[in-house]
Structure 1
């Protein structure tokens, strides 16, 4: 099964979450968030991570890392008493079948030959009395299958025998328990726990070269880049892809390689000497620019294995020369066959790349006491067609948005 056939995240929904009173983010193969500093771009990525953290660790720990429920509740023009998060994603038949083969859990193969589109979400609020929090509602909807959990720690799953089982606590999510009963719910849980990887890369952290860990998944700050590079070097196609793009980003670089010394994973850059076709000079990671290190980490994030469904990269243009940025965006565009990519940017150069079409752009703005999400207006879409670009509109302050923001209308947990 190819990585690209596994999971596709279609939509994120938020209500009462930090600066967002109500927002609906539809995700393409490549999605670019544009907005001023503090508009709410990072909050959208954090919400995706919040769901992942709540299911892979616990809801209590996910909240605590973010300062508790009071730090997440919306305090705009209308203060929220509850917050809701939901994600809609598509699970391929191959992915579902692999989970069924591995677990042996019940699975109606005949009804899901085209895969399953699933909406999962939950609503949480302050516990009565003001101490702590509790889950008010938790929902999974996928075609004829439905799981719903009430705020009284009871839950029901269609008319199956385990309907009515009670959880021990109202501050825990039920999906991990339901996932032990059905292959679709197990596949959903595994997808939500592993499908989102977000990056705010730090060249200083990359330069540390920590002890060997053997990890194949890149850390958020890129600090284990050497381990990920070492893992990818085992595949010639991956190593060639990284070296080819890095050579185009940093002139003179022939290849980048991982090495070991004193139990630490090192990264060495081999650079061409004069007009020689071979690498003549080897540079330590401390000799390379911030831009080169960020580009290397982004390339590793795009190529890491297993491939996440969605790779989120904040401020893709940071420390990167405009010429190198074009090469980097070429690599990002080519990688959308392996995974979805979500970028944040306020760079006219990045937004002028051919891959950044108006349909892929979402504008985040602070209006009426809250963050709101918009698509481009029809006029702006037309004006950003080649030979013009989204970046040119941004540079001239003409990135006009649609009249209405992207919101969830009606039932927040509705099925697609």
Structure 2
């Protein structure tokens, strides 16, 4: 079973989160965010990571890394008093069976064996006086089960009583999330917790971090800045098909490249690029990362992000065009388009060359704009959709400042935590 069939990210919802007063981002197999600098593209990626961090470490630490709740609360014309975030994801029956077999927790509902659409999210607000925060609502809801927790009166800041492993007398702290606790007694919520912890990976790659060649590690998942690219490459070398795929795309980017390999020396993981000498068919010259350009190292890390094991359900890549030659951009987008068969991909870009690739269809584009003190998400207008079809492109519209959006933004209407 492919990774994308196991977990599929359907939608992200935000309310009162940084520059977004109200927004919903629906994901395709490939989703492309377009917008000016500072419009809010990076905030959408951060929100996905915020949920992951809150469930992997703690909500308090996730907030502290971002400057506290006051730094995250939206400050616009209608200043938010509550911050809400929700993610909708689809879990396959195979994924639920996998978690069931590993945890020995029973699947409560027979219907969930065929897979299920799940909504998970929470709302938090600052405590009176601005010191600390309180979870005002937490929702985990599927087609067959639900877990809802909330404060009847948020002003009282009382610990809400929920059904948790500790029994009826257990009181969950009002600054902690309940999902990690209910995950210990129910396979569906364990599956949701694991999916939210592992299914989204966002990347802002740094060639300087890749050049550092850190000590040998055991991680097979690429770090956010790509610093452990050598370790990920080493794990990938166990698959001939993945190595062939990687070398094929890199050879189309780097003239004369034969292969790239992970090696070790003095306890450090090294990356070596083997290139042809003159017209020889074999590799005659070996270069290390210090000899390669920023663009080459970013291309390597981007390709590794798409093929790492286990592959995340959603791979988020910021500013794919950074330091990359326009000809190499086409190769990368070919690789991304081919990779959507086993993972979803979210790109941010403001490059006309990248947006002119055939994979960037108007249906896959979301425009982020700053309007009247808030960031908002838009689809393209019907006219822009028609104008961006071949032989024209989204990139050509961007170049001529004709990337017109729909009149209404993509917003959450009604219950914030309702199923899509």
TM-score, normalising length from structure 1? 0.97
**Corresponding residue for residue 81 of structure 1:** 81
Across the aligned residues of Structure 1 and Structure 2, the Cα RMSD in angstroms comes to 1.4
- Tell me the CA shift for residue 168 of structure 1: 3.6
**Corresponding residue for residue 325 of structure 1:** 329
Write the deviation string for residues 110-165 of structure 1: whole angstroms up to 9, x where unpaired: 312430100000000011343200100000110131110113432546xx998856
- For residues 121 and 278 of structure 1, the distance between their equivalents in structure 2, rounded to whole angstroms, comes to 54
- Tell me the CA shift for residue 2 of structure 1: 2.9
**Corresponding residue for residue 140 of structure 2:** 140
Distance change in 2, residues 1:164/1:81 (3 Å)? farther
**Corresponding residue for residue 51 of structure 1:** 51
Alignment of 1:163-312 (within 5 A): 166-312=170-316
User: Would you say 1:340 and 2:329 are equivalent positions?
Assistant: no
Instruction: Assess if the C-alpha contact under 8 Å between 2:226 and 2:301 holds in 1.
Output: yes
Secondary structure of the residue aligned to 1:15 is strand
Secondary structure of the residue aligned to 2:114 is coil
Structure 1: which 5+ runs fail to align?
A: none
Instruction: Assess if the C-alpha contact under 8 Å between 1:155 and 1:163 holds in 2.
Output: no
Distance change in 2, residues 1:277/1:161 (3 Å)? closer
Alignment of 1:13-162 (within 5 A): 13-108=13-108, 110-151=110-151, 152-156=158-162
Instruction: Assess if the C-alpha contact under 8 Å between 2:107 and 2:113 holds in 1.
Output: no
Count how many residue pairs are aligned between Structure 1 and Structure 2: 414
Distance change in 2, residues 1:27/1:80 (3 Å)? same
- For residues 271 and 98 of structure 1, the distance between their equivalents in structure 2, rounded to whole angstroms, comes to 43
Structure 2: which 5+ runs fail to align?
A: 152-157
- For residues 332 and 98 of structure 1, the distance between their equivalents in structure 2, rounded to whole angstroms, comes to 27
- Tell me the CA shift for residue 102 of structure 1: 1.1
**Corresponding residue for residue 395 of structure 1:** 399
- For residues 166 and 76 of structure 1, the distance between their equivalents in structure 2, rounded to whole angstroms, comes to 39
TM-score, normalising length from structure 2? 0.96
Secondary structure of the residue aligned to 1:260 is strand
Instruction: Assess if the C-alpha contact under 8 Å between 2:111 and 2:144 holds in 1.
Output: no
Write the deviation string for residues 345-384 of structure 1: whole angstroms up to 9, x where unpaired: 0000000000000000000000011000000000000111
- Tell me the CA shift for residue 103 of structure 1: 1.1
- Tell me the CA shift for residue 167 of structure 1: 3.2
- For residues 366 and 385 of structure 2, the distance between their equivalents in structure 1, rounded to whole angstroms, comes to 12
Instruction: Assess if the C-alpha contact under 8 Å between 1:167 and 1:174 holds in 2.
Output: no
Write the deviation string for residues 20-62 of structure 1: whole angstroms up to 9, x where unpaired: 0000000001000000000000000000000000000000000
Greater mean deviation of Cα atoms: 225-234 or 129-138: 129-138
- For residues 304 and 65 of structure 2, the distance between their equivalents in structure 1, rounded to whole angstroms, comes to 26
- For residues 165 and 241 of structure 1, the distance between their equivalents in structure 2, rounded to whole angstroms, comes to 56
- Tell me the CA shift for residue 324 of structure 1: 0.6
